[in-house]
Amino acid sequence: MPVITIYHVPGTRSVRPIWLCEELGIDYKKEVISFDASFRASPEWRRLNPVGKVPVMTDGDLTMFESCAMVQVLLDRYGEGRLEPQRGSDDHALMQQWSWFAESTLARPAGEIVNHRRVFGEKQIPEVMAEMADRIRLCLTAVDKAVTGRDFLVDYGFCAADINLGYSLHLARGHVPLDDYPNARAYFERLAARPGFKNALT
């Protein structure tokens, strides 16, 4: 009986902790929930995620939100040193850098496009959409450079930062195609070919 439950909506940021569990063979339960605004605003869901977003993870008595934090907690509790470089090393610092970049710098404009569309519908402001797309392009340029001539982000090899950024690239490519960023595209394709990603996406 798994003690970890990940509340999941296919294609959303719950992909990150689920993908990590798949890669590490951690036993977890996937609880698929509704993405309806009314469900996310319900007292029942707000008790788990006070801002009504997805995902949520529980592990025994712990209930938490923020997908990249979940990835780190899973590494701390069950990773046994796998999928992260040695703590304190430069590679570990870069793993943190790219994980934070994944959510706060790249996923942010992508998420804002989704939110803006959802909230404003027909009345969306083209200048806002264009500005967010420009922010994504800037991030994709940075990723493209970072993975030029290498398979993964840090020398250690495939690690949790690739999971965090891989999801953000999946999100971003729905708004800005990766075609103009051949290294980032090849990197994303390498990540997307992993069974863990495929199993996490649905």
Ligand X SMILES: N[C@@H](CCC(=O)N[C@@H](CS)C(=O)NCC(=O)O)C(=O)O
Binding site for ligand X (CB under 6 A): 12-13, 53-55, 65-68, 103, 111, 115
The nearest distance, CB 73 to ligand X, in angstroms, is 13
Measure Cα distances from 5 to 2, 146, 149 in Å. Answer: 7, 34, 38
Phi then psi dihedrals of residue 5, to 5 deg: -120, 130
| Cβ nearer to ligand X, comparing 45 with 158 | 45
The nearest distance, CB 24 to ligand X, in angstroms, is 19
| Cβ nearer to ligand X, comparing 36 with 134 | 36
| Cβ nearer to ligand X, comparing 106 with 153 | 106
The nearest distance, CB 53 to ligand X, in angstroms, is 3
In angstroms, the CA 166 to CA 143 distance is 11
| Cβ nearer to ligand X, comparing 108 with 194 | 108
Length of the chain: 202
DSSP assigned state of 84:
S
**Burial class of residue 86 in the structure, from the number of CB atoms within 10 Å of its CB (0-12 exposed, 13-18 middle, 19+ buried):** exposed
The nearest distance, CB 54 to ligand X, in angstroms, is 4
